[in-house]
Amino acid sequence: MSSSRVCRTCGCTDIDIDQARGDAVCTACGSVLEDNIIVSEVQFVENSGGGSSAVGQFVSLDSAGKAPSLGTGFHTNLGKESRAQTLQNGRRQIHHLGNQLQLNQHCLDTAFNFFKMAVSKHLTRGRKMSHVVAACLYLVCRTEGTPRILLTPQKLHKI
C-alpha cells in the first residue's frame, strides 16, 4: 500500500505501509521510516465457526521498552487467561464436591488431572462446569474403586 510520504534517505515517494506489521518501508532503498505504528481502528475477521476475532497485537503496560513478540494476537493471551481461570474454577469445584464426598487428596488430584485433560481436549466447551466436575469425580471413584452414593431426584446410584 503506497502513501504520500517521502523517504528521508533517497527521496522516493513509493512507501509501503503494512498495518499488520505496523511499519512503513521505502520500496526503493528499504529504509524503515516508521515502526510500531499504532492504529486507532479495530478490525475483525470471521473464523470458521462463524464467530469473530479482533485483529491486532496486545500491548500491555508492563512490557514497556521490550520488543513486541511476533505472531501473538491479544485474543491468544485472553485464551490463556481464560484457560487458567477455567482450571482454577475447576480445581475449586472439585475440592468442594470431593470434600463433601469425603474423598482423599489423591482422589482430588486425580480428578483434577482428568479435568485438565478434558480442558486440553476442549471437552468442556458448551458443557456446565458442574457436570464436567462430577464426571471427573465419577471417573476417579470408578478407577480407584472408591464406592460412593450419588443421590438424584429420580434414582439412587451407587458408584
Condensed to tens digits (0 to 9), the pLDDT of residues 104-152 reads: 999 999 999 999 999 989 888 889 999 999 999 999 988 888 877 665 5
Q: Which residues pair with 23 in a beta bridge?
A: 18
Query: What predicted TM-score, i.e. pTM, was given to this entire model?
Result: 0.47
Q: How open is the CA angle 94-98-103, to the nearest 5 degrees?
A: 140
Domain boundaries, the chain: 1-37, 76-158
pLDDT for 28-53, tens place per residue? 887 888 776 665 566 777 777 777 77
Nearest of 83, 128, 132, 91 to residue 109 by alpha carbon: 91
User: Please, is 145 exposed, middle or buried when counting C-beta atoms within 10 Å of its C-beta (0-12, 13-18, 19+)?
Assistant: exposed
Rg (alpha carbons) of the chain, rounded to whole number: 26
Q: Which CATH number applies to 76-158: 1.20.210.10, 1.10.472.10, 3.10.580.10, 3.40.50.10950?
A: 1.10.472.10
